[in-house]
Amino acid sequence: MHITRRSFLKSTAAVLLGSAVSQPAIARVSFSSDPFKLGIASGSPRSESVVLWTRLAPNPLQGGGLDPQPIKVKWELAGDEAFHNIIKSGEAVAPPQYAHSVHVEAKGLQPARSYWYRFFAGDAVSPVGYTRTAPAPDSLDPFRFTFASCQMYEQGYFTAHRHMAQEDLDLVVFLGDYIYEHSWGHNDVRKHEAHEVYSLDDYRNRYACYKTDADLQQCHSRFPWIVTWDDHEVDNDYARDRAEDLETNFIARRNAAYQAFYEHMPLSESCAPHNGNMRIYQAYDFGRLARFHVLDDRQYRDYQVCPKPGMGGSNVIADCAERNDPKRTILGWQQEEWLKKSLKDSQANWDVIVQQTLMAQVERPGGKFWTDGWDGYPAARRRLLEAVNGRPGRDAIVVGGDVHAYAVCDLKVDFNDKSSPIVASEFCGTSISSEGPSIKQINAWKENNPHIHYANAEARGYVKVVLGKEQADVALRSIESEKVPDSKINTIAQYVVEKGKPGPQKA
């Protein structure tokens, strides 16, 4: 092809001009130190796709340490750990407005397949991560997952994550309190990078503080995760747009917190915040075996009833009439309708309801209830359990966290009526490291609530579930001490749920 000098100059100018107008300048970078200090992650697995995540941050605890320019990141997905067989690869841009995070959705993959992935930026190469796609739509093969929540960094080491990383799993589910926005509790083993967080920079540094933990990084690099959030990703006991202490400007704080959550989680780009909202509730299918309905009980909920004077947030109260108001919602009406439809449309053997907190009623001494959990929204809970009930051939398991205690419960449409049938089985995980309630409190839970089979707030850890066609095997996995980095793991209780027979049974 013959190009005159004049036309070459013209076309070069056009290309340069074009790229200057239509694309941001991509920096050619060399990093002062490793930009992958926050590790890598994968998540939101589907039968044909999985999300790959990283965030470039050579100086993670001080804002990341990069100039505010987009940076090119190459990614590779292989069928083997040595990357001989590269199946997909591509280039993504780490944008400064999302703290140089990368959310790649690798598509066109095979179901129930193991993959390895890594990232390249400048001269730097990330560690290698392992991930796995969801089973094919018709699969009834067994499916193994763990769920966990509440990892207060100051109160304990993430030893539970190190043990989880060694399990044989298809998926990890995290139910919220991934970070804590403020310090509380006793017997700290280490300190946050700063005090309570409010601004976008603050939240980014807080995620960085948690994500520099080697055990947490290892667990992310070993399995795909599905994540939802609870209150501490923003502020203790917040409800929709109201802070616990009724602080002004709370929406600006929530916007910052939501954005930082997106920036640090293996969520697809479709979850990115939009006008201050983030839709994270969604369903995941694991063959015909299970549908996971992942809920968000924070963003759309009505305010907690009967708070302490001059406060928002929760309270422990003897019944107040407002609590039973049928117009109250914890999921918001749109999500409630979505969930009803998602349950109705599901063809799965098991519907797993993935949500933040303990769903079973917990009547406390003196007929009191804690208003931040489902007990503050009993009509909404009843609607949910009625939707779960009465679908022949289908069984529901509810998983939760938040209360920093294991709890194994029967779920009933009416907890106060002994003849009300059991409609689902609930397993509440304890915390990875957050301090639990006292033995006295837990004993009172059990005394007043016959539908609670087991409760234990003394142990930290997670729950492992093996879903089979006819039976779910559930193991409460607990570390000896969250205060000791290399402590061992044990199974402290085991349950089964038989298909067609709602309610956990001791194994």
Report the interface residues with Ca ion, using CB under 5 A. Answer: 177, 230-231, 402
For the bound state, the minimum distance from the C-beta of residue 231 to Fe ion, rounded and expressed in Å, comes to 8
CA 442: distance to chain centroid?
26
Farthest CA pair distance, the chain: 91
Residue closer to Fe ion by CB (options 177, 482) is: 177
SS3 447: helix
SS3 125: strand
Residue closer to Fe ion by CB (options 47, 304) is: 304
Name the segment binding Fe ion (CB under 5 A); options: 138-146, 170-178, 421-429, 484-492: 170-178
Residue closer to Fe ion by CB (options 73, 398) is: 398
- Which of Ca ion, Fe ion, none does 154 bind, CB closer than 5 to 8 A by kind? none
Residue closer to Ca ion by CB (options 355, 449) is: 355
Residue closer to Fe ion by CB (options 66, 294) is: 294
451 and 361 Cβ atoms separated by less than 8 Å: yes
- Which of Fe ion, Ca ion, none does 426 bind, CB closer than 5 to 8 A by kind? none
For the bound state, the minimum distance from the C-beta of residue 434 to Fe ion, rounded and expressed in Å, comes to 5
Query: Does 99 contact Fe ion by CB under 5 A?
Result: no
What are the backbone dihedrals phi and psi of residue 80, each rounded to the nearest 5 degrees, phi first? Answer: -145, 160
For the bound state, the minimum distance from the C-beta of residue 215 to Ca ion, rounded and expressed in Å, comes to 21
For the bound state, the minimum distance from the C-beta of residue 402 to Ca ion, rounded and expressed in Å, comes to 4
Token pair belonging to 191: 């300190």
Residue closer to Fe ion by CB (options 260, 428) is: 428
- Which of Ca ion, Fe ion, none does 233 bind, CB closer than 5 to 8 A by kind? none
- Which of Ca ion, Fe ion, none does 482 bind, CB closer than 5 to 8 A by kind? none
- Closest to 178 in 3D by CA, of 222, 111, 225: 225
Name the segment binding Fe ion (CB under 5 A); options: 22-30, 73-81, 116-124, 148-156: 148-156
For the bound state, the minimum distance from the C-beta of residue 459 to Fe ion, rounded and expressed in Å, comes to 15
147 and 429 Cβ atoms separated by less than 8 Å: yes
- Closest to 478 in 3D by CA, of 144, 223, 229, 148: 148
- Which of Fe ion, Ca ion, none does 231 bind, CB closer than 5 to 8 A by kind? Ca ion
- Which of Fe ion, Ca ion, none does 133 bind, CB closer than 5 to 8 A by kind? none
CA 173: distance to chain centroid?
6
Contact flags string 408-427 toward Fe ion, x per CB under 5 A: --------------------
364 and 403 Cβ atoms separated by less than 8 Å: no
Token pair belonging to 348: 């799965």
Q: Total residues contacting Fe ion (rule CB under 5 A)?
A: 3
d(Cα 465, Cα 429) in Å, to the nearest integer? 11
Name the segment binding Fe ion (CB under 5 A); options: 93-101, 142-150, 277-285, 297-305: 142-150
* DSSP secondary structure string for all residues of 101-145: EEEEEE-SPPTT-EEEEEEEETTEEPPPEEEEPPPPTT----EEE
Query: Does 177 contact Fe ion by CB under 5 A?
Result: yes
d(Cα 413, Cα 83) in Å, to the nearest integer? 52
d(Cα 198, Cα 466) in Å, to the nearest integer? 40
Name the segment binding Fe ion (CB under 5 A); options: 150-158, 194-202, 267-275, 312-320: 150-158
270 and 345 Cβ atoms separated by less than 8 Å: no
What are the backbone dihedrals phi and psi of residue 84, each rounded to the nearest 5 degrees, phi first? Answer: -75, -35
Name the segment binding Fe ion (CB under 5 A); options: 92-100, 172-180, 253-261, 384-392: 172-180
Residue closer to Fe ion by CB (options 244, 351) is: 244
Token pair belonging to 93: 């841009």
- Which of Ca ion, Fe ion, none does 170 bind, CB closer than 5 to 8 A by kind? none
Q: How many CB atoms lie within 10 A of CB 117?
A: 27
Query: Does 385 contact Fe ion by CB under 5 A?
Result: no
- Closest to 38 in 3D by CA, of 53, 28, 22, 50: 53
Among positions 150, 265, 330, 479, the unique one binding Fe ion when judged by CB under 5 A: 150
- Which of Fe ion, Ca ion, none does 371 bind, CB closer than 5 to 8 A by kind? none
Q: What is the dihedral of CA 452, 457, 458, 462, to 10 degrees?
A: 90
- Closest to 147 in 3D by CA, of 424, 504, 466, 469: 466
d(Cα 19, Cα 292) in Å, to the nearest integer? 43
286 and 472 Cβ atoms separated by less than 8 Å: no
- Which of Ca ion, Fe ion, none does 237 bind, CB closer than 5 to 8 A by kind? none
Token pair belonging to 411: 């779920």
For the bound state, the minimum distance from the C-beta of residue 294 to Ca ion, rounded and expressed in Å, comes to 16
For the bound state, the minimum distance from the C-beta of residue 26 to Ca ion, rounded and expressed in Å, comes to 40
Query: Does 109 contact Fe ion by CB under 5 A?
Result: no
Binding footprint of Fe ion on the chain (CB under 5 A): 150, 177, 434
